[in-house]
Structure 1
Amino acid sequence: MSTRIERGSLVLRVEDNGKGADPELLNARLAGASQEEDTGGSGYGTLNVHRRIRLHCRGRYGLRYIAVSSGTCVEAVLPLQPELPVRDGG
């Protein structure tokens, strides 16, 4: 897991070393172009997260899959917000 700031956005990156997945197919699925293709799982969880980010943040934000040499890598791109005050849990 890693984080970085990219063009005014916060990017959260999660990468594993499993068998991997096709980032082009998964990104097409997120875009709605290929929801019928089998990716080895339902993909409903990541699609749901992507749609919620897009609904709340709009524009260029959401999930994106990145090609890596082994495993799978997904990035969550979120708007970078200035420091907000921390509220007590009460």
Structure 2
Amino acid sequence: MENNMVKLDEILEAVKYKEAAKKKEEKKTCILWILAIIGIVAAVAAVAYAVYRYLTPDYLEDFDDDFDDDFEDEDLDKEEPEKEASEEKKED
């Protein structure tokens, strides 16, 4: 009878350990699911941002081109009178 009680105690302890291990495993799977969902959301956000950056026109580039053109016009205006003056001197 004593031998049967020892075996019964061992079986109950084994069942307790198995249940504890199962709860830990459930917590791990829950955490993995949460991390997987966060990763998927981050990936979708990164793709959406990349598409947005690709499709959005670059207004600053247009502004820089206009700004450079203004200064180029001024330089040409300054150079033209000098060329005309040098041509007039050559003609004289």
Same fold (TM over 0.5): no
Q: Hey, which of these two has a bigger chunk of helix by percent?
A: 2
Give TM-score, length-normalised by structure 1: 0.20
If asked which structure has higher relative contact order (CA below 8 Å, sep 6+), I would say: 1
Query: Bigger radius of gyration, 1 or 2?
Result: 2
